[in-house]
Amino acid sequence: MSIVVQKYGGSSVADVAKLKQVADRVMRTRRDGHDVVVVVSAMGDTTDDLLSLARQVSANPDRRELDMLLTVGERISMALLSIAIRELGGDAVSFTGSQSGIITNDRHADARIIEVRPIRVQDELSRGKIVVIAGYQGMSYRRDVTTLGRGGSDTTAVAMAAALGAEYCEICSDVDGVYTADPRVVPAARRIGTLSYEETQELAESGAKVLNAQAVEFAKEKGIAIYARATRGPLPGADPSADGTVVRKHPPRMPGTVVGVASEKDVLIVHAAPRQSAGASPTPDDLLGVLDHHHVAGKQLHVAGDRLTLVVSRENLHEEPRVRAALATKFGDSVRIADTLAAISVVGAGINASFDKVRRGSAALERAGIAVNGIATSSFRITWMIERARVDEAVRLLHAEFIEERPDPVP
Ligand code: ADP
Ligand code: ASP
Ligand code: MG
């Protein structure tokens, strides 16, 4: 029997009624003749609520203890879903990440999967069971519980699909696929039928929440096809691209085609420059050493002479006051942190073959009076740093400029 891995996000299991609908969908998949492994997220806003509890206790909650706390959310969902499937006559068994054999490094709150040993999952599948796994978590080689970073249940699903040699991995959510922009922000956004791994990874890293970037990286490495679709939608039919979005190896589109616009609001910009007052200036190595020491991940690192800029996503930064204090103590006024900006990106392979799109995007922002604080490019992406308050407006603007204007908006 072929194995199918299905992941259901927080909004799909937000309450008992929704959980029962998921149980029904799982049972239908089973009746279609598949072995089914289900990965679940925490119910609704549970993870945010648990985080807020921890922050009420400490401004700098210890990362190991945070993982102990946050993994509870997914354990609630896995047990309830397993009970709901049993209620429908299915034979389900639930496992935590550690019981499922997900081994990670020891970078708490943002761990990476190193290996998956799904022996217990395989055993139960061979006994005819439906296996329900708590997403977003694993166990470090020190035998501590870890979490995989926000949105990490997607990663659990893809890693499990790869380890089990699954036929496909379905990521089921409240939205029926990957769109050209967040449909909550851009009413004109359209569903994209097929995306390459690279395009999806860039969209995810630029802030498109629908798929987790690490999950896509995993899928690419192992050649797993991801089907992003709505939980309330149909099961995949004979033509899986008829609905939802398929992410797989995909021939390049016309070079320079913009496939989507994404944004990330909750970012800090770290600037380092020579000291104004007396004392030695920080070298990039000094500064990055402090960030590494506090497990702070950054992107768009730019070093020019004795100046450095870096974008830090707040998503997995849980001890911001402590990091700020460490930087201030060590580097004084030579390190500044800006907290009013956001990143907006347009994504597409070969997008920077000429500077045409950089110029067009900048001109569109300027026409709307949106100040650009910085620009970064790669072969797949152009990112503008702009004022946070105007980011949704800017997303609609760049979507209109690069996607709605085209005769064939979703290639
Ligand atoms: P889940 O809880 O199922 O993991 P998420 O909240 O993580 O779901 O992701 C789904 C949400 O991602 C959607 O509700 C949508 O608002 C948002 N989103 C952001 N960018 C995109 C995009 N390009 N395409 C589709 N959805 C997007
Ligand atoms: N519950 C976790 C989060 O909110 C993981 C996930 O939903 O994928 O980030
Ligand atoms: Mg998610």
pTM beyond 0.85 = yes
Helix ranges (DSSP H) in 58-118? 63-87
- Token couple for 388: 């946070």
The residues of the chain scoring below 70 in pLDDT are 238, 240-241, 276-280, 406-411
Q: Which atom of ligand 2 is nearest to the CA of 136?
A: 5
Residue 180 and residue 347: Cα distance in Å, rounded? 10
Facing residues of 262 across strands? Answer: 345
Residues 174-208 have pLDDT tens digits of 999 999 999 999 999 999 999 999 999 999 999 99
Q: Tokens 């139960």 belong to which residue? A: 124
In angstroms, the CA 133 to CA 137 distance is 10
- Looking from the CA of 286 toward its CB, the CA atoms found within 13 Å total 18
Q: What is the DSSP letter of 274?
A: -
- Lining ligand 1 with CB less than 6 A are 9-12, 41, 151, 173-175, 178-179, 181-184, 208-210, 260
Residue 392 alpha carbon to ligand 1 centre in Å: 15
Tens of pLDDT along 331-347? 888 999 999 999 999 99
Atom of ligand 1 nearest to the CA of 179: 24
Report d(CA 168, CA 188) in Å as an integer.
30
How far apart, in whole angstroms, are the C-alpha atoms of residue 388 and residue 342? 5
Nearest-CA residue for atom 5 of ligand 2:
151
Strands (E) across 73-180 are located at 92-95, 102-104, 113-116, 130-134, 137-140, 145-147, 168-173
Residue 238 token pair? 């004979």
- Residue 409 is predicted with a pLDDT of 54
User: 150 CA to middle of ligand 3, Å?
Assistant: 8
Cβ atoms of residues 344 and 394 within 8 Å: yes
Please tell me what DSSP assigns to residue 279: S
Residue 210, both tokens = 């629908």
Is there a contact between 136 and 152 (Cβ–Cβ < 8 Å)?
yes
Question: CA–CA separation, 411 vs 406, rounded Å?
Answer: 10
Contact call for residues 92 and 86 (beta carbons, < 8 A): yes
> Which residue from 64, 13, 4 is spatially nearest to 34, judged by alpha carbons?
4
DSSP 126: H
pLDDT, residue 252, reads: 77
Q: What is the 3-state secondary structure (H, E, C) of 329-371?
A: HHHHHHEEEECCEEEEEEECCCCCCCCHHHHHHHHHHHHCCCC
Q: Work out which ligand 1 atom sits closest to the CA atom of 154.
A: 4
Q: Is the CB of 201 under 6 A from ligand 2?
A: no
Residue 170 one-letter amino acid: E
Note whether 19 and 51 are within 8 A (CB): no
DSSP 73: H
Question: How much is the pLDDT for 405?
Answer: 76
How many other C-beta atoms can be found within 10 angstroms of the C-beta atom of residue 370? 19
